[in-house]
Amino acid sequence: MKVLVIGNGGREHALAWKFLQSDQIQQVVCVPGNGGTATMQGCQNLSLAVDNFVGIGEYALSNSIDLVVVGPESPLAEGITDYLQNQGLMVFGPNKSGARIEASKAWAKALMLEAGIPTAKAAVFTEAASAKAYLYNQGAPIVIKADGLAAGKGVTVAETISQAEEAIEAIFQGQFGSAGNSVVIEECLRGQEISVLALTDGLTIRPLLPAQDHKRVGEGDTGDNTGGMGAYAPAPVATPELMARVQTEVLERTITALQSRGIDYRGILYAGLMITPDGDFRVLEFNCRFGDPETQVILPLLATPLEDLMLACIGRHLGDMPPIAWKTGAAATVVAASGGYPGEYVKGKVINGFVAADATGATVFHAGTRLNEFQEIVTDGGRVLNVTGLGADFGEAITQAYAGIREIEFDQMYYRRDIGYRVLQ
């Protein structure tokens, strides 16, 4: 098989890496890819933008691509699956109507309420004055969210009224462009967040291993929200009993609600959950694609061939597949970020230490990297690398990830030194 992976982040490098472990996969093409996919044997980059649907379609058809896998949410929300399917291509990822579950937090919240899915109390506003009036009535702490896609940065957990006011003003003043045409204000839930990514063919839905992400930039879960500074799987807080409830109360209800709206949802459904201190849970949000960096700890533990699962989703026969098989043990990944992230940062810093990092046994997934004109790998984003460790337990996995990341060097590199602290306590 030939597979085309759309996207340029750590998630896409991990997808390409996983495909190339299969003897069914001859070649992977990444659009546009990054420095890691450019230098991985069996993989090549194609310099097209992820929203160049025509160019991607023409390439896939003329090069006999068997499977197209869409990584990021933006092209899904813009309808890339619909377009490529109309060209006769096999595409893994929901259509435009399904991708609304991530593209509009207000739409997703309405779906959850309609389906009886446990979620935080919320209200939606289209102008600042009414949003602030609601804020003053509710008080702080409170959560302010831009309605649309904001690259994982559109959420503010405001501990004070003034923080919440600033977040509301920033969104309505265009900080996130059209993503901020409306605001969702949500009650602030306390507890531990987990990510449950599930595969679905629109009829059957099967969860992957639950993962736990670290959203805050600072150690001890402090500072600004990011796209994720590290993750581990399987998350122990997601007990078998809790996962059984998530299956019936979240995943199956969501698929039923989508069906009732005439939406044929095939691909990944990602539920972000808050596990409350009493062991209950609420859905914080839905995403329509693989999580990043959760993918970098889930795929290394997956034993079933990934392409078999994806083709079963596309062909609507996931229910006929045997249970998903997993390797034993645990995985952890640590993000190496550019200094200043998630704020302003400088690109183009030369990265060293890959050979030494590989020698530790860790796997280095590239996120924000590219090859420069001297064939050096340089920084090209806020989150630069994900260094993933595997082990019989979390202690071994986390130790390996940190052994790997300590070998990596670039100017102003930053990483959290406490990824996985909950499972090491």
- The average pLDDT across 242-260 equals 98
Res. 174 pLDDT band, cuts 50 70 90: confident
Q: Please, what CATH class does the domain formed by 330-424 belong to?
A: alpha beta
Which CA distances in Å does 398 have to 13, 20, 232, 275, 423? 20, 25, 8, 23, 10
- The average pLDDT across 86-105 equals 97
Q: Please, what CATH class does the domain formed by 192-320 belong to?
A: alpha beta
Res. 175 pLDDT band, cuts 50 70 90: confident
Q: Which two tokens stand for residue 353?
A: 């230490």
pLDDT at 370: 98
Check whether 75 has a pLDDT greater than 90: yes
pLDDT tens-digit map of 314-353: 999 999 999 999 999 999 999 999 999 999 999 999 999 9
Whether residue 413 contacts residue 336, with contact meaning beta carbons closer than 8 Å, is answered with yes
Fold held by 2-93? Rossmann fold (3.40.50)
pLDDT at 155: 87
The pTM score is 0.95
- The average pLDDT across 197-210 equals 98
Q: Would 192-320 and 330-424 be classified into the same CATH topology?
A: no
**32 vs 19: CA distance, rounded Å:** 17
Fold held by 127-181? Dna Ligase; domain 1 (3.30.1490)
Whether residue 144 contacts residue 122, with contact meaning beta carbons closer than 8 Å, is answered with no
- The average pLDDT across 292-309 equals 98
Check whether 152 has a pLDDT greater than 80: no
Phi and psi, residue 237, nearest 5° = -65, -20
Check whether 45 has a pLDDT greater than 90: yes
Q: Domain ranges in the chain?
A: 2-93, 127-181, 192-320, 330-424
